[in-house]
Structure 1
Amino acid sequence: MKKILCIALNPAIDISSDADVVRHTHKTRTFNQQQFPGGGGVNVARVICELGGQCELMFLSGGATGQLLEAMLRPLSIVGRPFPIHDPVRVAYAVHEQSTNTEYRFVPEGPLVTDAELEPVFEAVAKSDADYIVASGSLPRGVPDETYLRMAEVAATSGAHFILDTSGPALASALARANMFLVKPSLGEFESFLGRKLDHDSVGPAAQNYVREGCVQHIAVTLGADGAVLVSADTIVRVPAISVPVQSAVGAGDSFVAGMIWALAEGHGIDEAFRFGQAAGAAAVMTAGTALCRREDVMELFSRQQE
């Protein structure tokens, strides 16, 4: 299996609970609490290991919550490499309201990170011998929008395949100038980047324009209940959503990315890896809170697509 490096610049402690009813002002009593190490790059690493792969995880860690995050990662088969920061790691919270089957998600912006705290991460990426470098998640406060662009440029010097899953200015900066292997926005993130709405027939051609400009080899756009689209220079492949019982949408996009990268590292082609990603994303919504996907569900859903 080829080597995978995951990067989490804005990790989190993800807490989820259930409640009968969520009401303003009054106390909302919760139950069935779960807590997991989270944030984009952390979730990607968790899923890769769940699928049977191995990866290294570089992440920023500070404060008491950073110590908790590191302790939560230790039992997992992830080679964790924390980089110290002053401010504490954020805590995200999701509440599932059982009476309406509605999920409320509270996601803090994250710690303030200085240039001096971030620089060792760039140095480590430059020395990495990973075949695939996955940068996933939002940027914490104080980190320049061009951070992922710079990482992509560093990865390119070593010949690594750089994969990006982010949104907003960080995505726009990278798509404007970077040379990346794969970018995975959701439909909403891609529309925000373009500044216009897209119907499902126009997603593929719009993404293909950027592929043909040479900034990225592949773009996978997830469409939620309508499936996903994989765009390369000469092809547009669309797969429908896999019908599954929905528990929580938390981590579905991260699972999608992880499924693709795990499959690629195992030697599968891009089209087959795309379907592994779709299966992993669908499997993630079958689990409650921030539990992400289970290997047996991913394999069953992937096999279902082949029928």
Structure 2
Amino acid sequence: MSRIVTLTLSPALDVATAVPRLYPDAKLRCAPPVYAPGGGGINVARAIQRLGGRALAVFPAGGSTGRHLTDLLSAEGVPSQALKVEQWTRECINLVERSSAQQYRLVMPAARLELDEQEQLLAALLALPRPDYLVVSADTSLGIAAPTVRKRSTVGAGDSMVAALTLKLAAGRQLAEAARYGVAAGTAAIITEGSELCRYADTEQLFAWLQQSAAGAG
């Protein structure tokens, strides 16, 4: 299996919760918070782990929120290398209004990295064994129609797609098959709640449907 490393410059401790309804000027009683590691590269590494692969997540981490994020990654069994920095790792809130099923994503500013911290992060990355795949950005587009599903959350859909695509390419699969697997994982993330990423069983089921559809179209 090829070696995959992800680099996240703006990690986050994601907090998912819900309220019955949003009202101005009132105390909103929230559901118990669910914490999860966040940030594009980190989510890619987490999704690769869920899909049966392995990736090393490299990122800066500061304060108690950074330690919490690192502990959560460790609990999931995701290999990571965190560089300790001065500013606290940001928290981002994913809030669902249950009466409308609408989701609100409150994204805090990323922690600022000092110049010496940037240099240390780059040095740590260069000190690693050379990876076959380095995932830095989750921005991509694919011309494959996704299956129609009931949307519960959009958090992590793009990251799940990039994770699955990278995992298949690392296994030597053709781009078309890897792209379909990416779409399947992105769609699988949409049917989960809060900050959840794709699930293996959902991804495999959707991928089988996409493969069958592609074969029929061919």
- Alignment partners' CA distance in 1, 2:96 and 2:200: 24
Alpha-carbon distance, 1:124 to partner: 2.7
Secondary structure, in 3 states, of the residue corresponding to 1:30? coil
| Cα-to-partner distance string for 1:83-131 (whole Å, 9 max, x where unaligned) | 1110000000011111111101100012121110011221233333110
2:41 corresponds to which residue? Answer: 41
Residue identity in the other structure for 1:106? L
Task: Report whether the alignment pairs 1:63 with 2:63.
Answer: yes
1:204-283 alignment, distance < 5 Å:
220-221=140-141, 229=142, 238-283=143-188
Paired residues, number: 211
User: 1:41–1:57: 8 Å Cα contact kept in structure 2?
Assistant: yes
- Alignment partners' CA distance in 2, 1:125 and 1:114: 17
- Alignment partners' CA distance in 2, 1:283 and 1:300: 9
Residue identity in the other structure for 1:35? Y
- Alignment partners' CA distance in 2, 1:91 and 1:265: 32
Structure with greater strand share of residues = 1
Q: Which portions of structure 1, spanning 4 or more consecutive aligned residues, are displaced by more than 3 angstroms?
A: none
Alpha-carbon distance, 1:25 to partner: 1.6
User: 1:63–1:86: 8 Å Cα contact kept in structure 2?
Assistant: yes
Secondary structure, in 3 states, of the residue corresponding to 1:117? helix
| Cα-to-partner distance string for 1:22-65 (whole Å, 9 max, x where unaligned) | 12221111115311111111111100000010111111001111
**CA distance 1:266–1:77, change in 2 (3 Å):** farther
- Alignment partners' CA distance in 2, 1:241 and 1:78: 28
Task: Report whether the alignment pairs 1:299 with 2:199.
Answer: no
- RCO higher in structure (CA 8 A, sep ≥6): 2
- Alignment partners' CA distance in 2, 1:241 and 1:94: 24
2:131 corresponds to which residue? Answer: 130
Secondary structure, in 3 states, of the residue corresponding to 1:262? helix
1:1-307 alignment, distance < 5 Å:
1-128=1-128, 129-135=130-136, 164-165=137-138, 184=139, 220-221=140-141, 229=142, 238-307=143-212
Alpha-carbon distance, 1:77 to partner: 2.5
| Cα-to-partner distance string for 1:180-212 (whole Å, 9 max, x where unaligned) | xxxx3xxxxxxxxxxxxxxxxxxxxxxxxxxxx
User: 1:19–1:95: 8 Å Cα contact kept in structure 2?
Assistant: yes
**CA distance 1:306–1:32, change in 2 (3 Å):** farther
Sequence identity of aligned pairs in percent?
A: 34
User: 2:180–2:211: 8 Å Cα contact kept in structure 1?
Assistant: no
Residue identity in the other structure for 1:56? L
Worse-matched range after superposition: 65-74 or 287-296: 65-74
User: 2:55–2:79: 8 Å Cα contact kept in structure 1?
Assistant: yes
Secondary structure, in 3 states, of the residue corresponding to 1:291? coil
Alpha-carbon distance, 1:281 to partner: 0.4
| Cα-to-partner distance string for 1:155-197 (whole Å, 9 max, x where unaligned) | xxxxxxxxx32xxxxxxxxxxxxxxxxxx3xxxxxxxxxxxxx
2:216 corresponds to which residue? Answer: none
Q: TM-score, normalised by structure 1?
A: 0.67
- Alignment partners' CA distance in 2, 1:255 and 1:53: 13
- Alignment partners' CA distance in 1, 2:62 and 2:53: 27
User: 1:61–1:82: 8 Å Cα contact kept in structure 2?
Assistant: yes
Residue identity in the other structure for 2:154? A
- Alignment partners' CA distance in 2, 1:32 and 1:90: 19
Secondary structure, in 3 states, of the residue corresponding to 1:281? helix
Q: Structure 2 unaligned segments of length 5 or more: list them.
A: 213-218
Residue identity in the other structure for 2:180? R
**CA distance 1:63–1:22, change in 2 (3 Å):** same
